[in-house]
Amino acid sequence: MSLAEMTEGMKKNVAERGGIDGKVVLFDFGDEGAIRIDATGSDVVVDNATGEADCTIGLSMEDFEDIASGELDAQMAFMSGKLKIDGDMGIAMQLSSLLG
């Protein structure tokens, strides 16, 4: 799946399920790009910008897809080092509703 397809899927999930109120979350895929969810304004923005975030989730696009599809458990990915969290861990715990 391409970054554009993943971004569109995240936009759909955010529209259906909401964002993380008042926070910025960044999924950082390294050289492959990023997906940012910015819920600091009146409308939640999902785009491919990078920069400051309340919580940055670092992982590969493949692992992101596996977590979203249920093939990989996010906790196991974190414990095995496939998923790294920088910033507010509480925000990261709320993200499962957006990925399912």
Domains assigned to the chain: 3-95 (3.30.1050.10)
Strand order in the sheet with 55-58: 45-47, 34-38, 24-28, 55-58, 84-87
Q: Is 5 helix (H, G, I), strand (E, B) or coil?
A: helix
Band of pLDDT at residue 97, cut at 50, 70 and 90: low
Q: Find the radius of gyration of the CA atoms of the chain.
A: 12
What's residue 68's pLDDT?
Answer: 86
What's residue 96's pLDDT?
Answer: 67
Distances (CA, A) of 62 to 28, 33, 54: 12, 12, 23
Measured distance CA(12)–CA(88) in Å, rounded: 24
CA angle (59 as vertex; 56, 63 as ends), nearest 5: 135
Per-residue pLDDT of 9-66, as tens digits, reads 999 988 887 768 789 999 999 999 999 999 998 889 999 999 899 999 999 999 999 9
